[in-house]
Chain A
Amino acid sequence: MKAAATPLKKKKKQSGVWLTLLPLYLFTLVFVAGPLVYMFVLSFQTRAEVWGVVNQFTLDNYKNIFQPVYLNTFVESFKLALTSTLLICAIGYPFGYFMAKLPAQWKKRVMLLLMIPFWTSSLIRLYGWIIIFRANGTLDKLLMGLGLTDGPLKLLYTYPAVVVGMVYALLQFMILAVYSSAEKMDWSLVEAARDLGATPLKAFLTVTLKLTLPGLLSGVILTFIPSMGLFFIADILGGNKVVLVGSLIQDQLMKAHNWPFAAALSVVLMILTSLMISLYKRVTHTTELEGIL
């Protein structure tokens, strides 16, 4: 439909600009797509005698996953992730909600206060919990001092400790997600509901909860998925007692040198997390994963 002279000019203009996409394309294809594809290929290969892989197609790796001990790991990881996420919802949602209702000055202050732990190395924060949980650590001292317990609780290297660690590590994501959703809310809608006769609880359930649901779901995704993979928390706070998929993959890679199996485990883990994301997308009808950035 354009006049004859224009298409030539348009093409010339395009050719300069597409160079800006080149770095992204190259880098992504080589260093993101490439490795991921390789992982997929690797999961079908056979492990060589001593080290490395042999180019023999096999489904054994995937079959192996169905062995009870490995399946159990997945189940355990899932249970841990679920427990942590539920706790995070319970603690984080009210926080985000209350925070959104603060006066502007306080919002900024609390946000700043939240940012510091958020950006502090997760290791440091974990280490603090070791101090608290270790035998004769802070918690024990406190409880013994108050006369609530007789001897050290030995909470370190237990399942509850890991849960606490997970919750602690990921709480901020939920808070920020709920906050950003609650902050944009139109509070006059709640007032309208009250005006029409709803009790505070009903108004909350029918208006606020529905409107902050996207934030809550964002938060769930932002906490559930990482919690499936944050094995080093389980490592540090749980010792060898708590084995997650993450630690399993690490073991297979580093100690057992069974790369194909590790790859297969990773593929399954990835499929599980992708399912979660698509479930989330379907539930919230969004096309992009809105981060808290």
Chain B
Amino acid sequence: MGETILELQNIAKHFGDTDVLNGISISISKGEFITLLGPSGCGKTTTLRIIAGLETPDEGRVILNGQDVTDSEPNKRDVNTVFQNYALFPHMTVAANIGYSLKLKKRPKDEIKKAVDDALALVQLSGYGKRMPAELSGGQRQRVAIARAVVNRPSVLLLDEPLGALDLQLRRQMQLELKALQKQLGITFIYITHDQEEALNMSDRIAVMKDGRFEQLGTPAEVYDSPRTSYVARFVGTANVLTGTVEAVEGDVLKVACAGGCAGALRRGYSFTPGAPITLAVRSEHVEFTKDPAACGIAAVIREKTFAGGMLRIALELSDGTTLIASRHGIDMDVQTGDAVRVTWAPASAVPVDVEAEEAK
């Protein structure tokens, strides 16, 4: 896994009556690209600022490179931040911006020049040294902000939604570049975003946050294929969440009774007893249905057919009112609104979520 470079131990932070952070703990390895994913207000920016030293936690410790830095000033930590609005110093040239941290360390002039030139080359902005930030486009300012933060080769680089202000195409391009940069430099990246696609694309691990806590911490595959809670299932990718009762347990396969029929699911290491309530999450691309009334599955009625984002979305209403979304490639399908169908999926596609009981693993 690599050595641990940063550790957060039970970080808590309150602002007045609100608990912004509630027991955040994580161990981050050297060279890792880890993303904090969540909606606004979930505490991801606060976590970042605590790591940077711009805020102090009310409880908990921050251990960087083996040292407790919880109370030390931001300028004394080996951590650098790429700010959401770039925060480039408007009265300094690009080169002065990038070289600022080195100037503070009183490095010799030619060393600074070389480091700045190298950093500019790294972000593909060679020759832009003499420009002022106001003369640059959003994407260019973005790169300068990154160059300024990496020129120090810090132990940890913090990125606060750096691509938020860019348009879609530029964002996709920058995602690839950032990932390549990280691999090249080997610096540990802690990245914040609310865009789950971005997180899934770039990260080695994702921490899904909700209300100041980590809902789930895992690789993109783990978070996507095996969400632990309905929140994670809904936040990452489009998921259907439905409740039912366990009918039977056959090895790893569960038979679940839902409103209007039954379906299969995998135990995934949890232990269930027949009769126990269960919540399942199924990705919309895994939802199948057929018009054959004799097939096994859940009874549903087609409510809506829409084409969005390159996929065909079909809304299916179950007998208890729950709506399931199925998605398909293609522009149309041979079903009409109002058709009665039976919904099924492969057991492996359904994941139990929000399980109270201890894992059997």
Interfacial residues, chain A to chain B (CB-CB below 8 A): 1-3, 5-6, 9
Q: 6 tightest CB-CB pairs across the interface, nearest first?
A: A5-B71, A6-B56, A1-B58, A9-B71, A2-B58, A6-B71
Whether B288 is near chain A, meaning CB under 8 Å from some CB there, is no
- Nearest-CB distance from A3 to chain B (Å)? 6
Question: Could you pull out 14 A-B pairs where Cβ atoms are within 8 angstroms?
Answer: A1-B14, A1-B58, A2-B56, A2-B58, A3-B56, A3-B57, A3-B58, A3-B59, A3-B70, A5-B70, A5-B71, A6-B56, A6-B71, A9-B71
Residue of B nearest to A13 (CB): B73
Q: How far does the alpha carbon of A5 sit from the alpha carbon of B59 in the complex, in Å?
A: 11
- Nearest-CB distance from B75 to chain A (Å)? 12
Given contacts A1-B14, A1-B58, A2-B58, 7 further A-B contacts (CB under 8 A): A3-B56, A3-B58, A3-B70, A5-B70, A5-B71, A6-B56, A6-B71
Contacts of A1 in B (CB 8 A): 14, 58
The size class of the interface chain B forms with chain A is under 10
Residue of B nearest to A8 (CB): B71
Q: How far does the alpha carbon of A6 sit from the alpha carbon of B72 in the complex, in Å?
A: 10
Main SS at interface, chain B: loop
Residue of B nearest to A10 (CB): B56
Q: How far does the alpha carbon of A5 sit from the alpha carbon of B57 in the complex, in Å?
A: 11
Q: How far does the alpha carbon of A2 sit from the alpha carbon of B15 in the complex, in Å?
A: 11
Q: How far does the alpha carbon of A6 sit from the alpha carbon of B60 in the complex, in Å?
A: 12
- Nearest-CB distance from A7 to chain B (Å)? 10
Contacts of A9 in B (CB 8 A): 71
Contacts of B57 in A (CB 8 A): 3
Contacts of B14 in A (CB 8 A): 1
- Nearest-CB distance from B13 to chain A (Å)? 10
- Nearest-CB distance from A266 to chain B (Å)? 46
Residue of A nearest to B14 (CB): A1
Contacts of B71 in A (CB 8 A): 5-6, 9
Q: How far does the alpha carbon of A105 sit from the alpha carbon of B14 in the complex, in Å?
A: 52
- Nearest-CB distance from A208 to chain B (Å)? 36
For chain B, residues 142 to 198, give those with C-beta under 8 angstroms from any C-beta of chain A: none
Q: How far does the alpha carbon of A6 sit from the alpha carbon of B50 in the complex, in Å?
A: 13
- Nearest-CB distance from B18 to chain A (Å)? 13
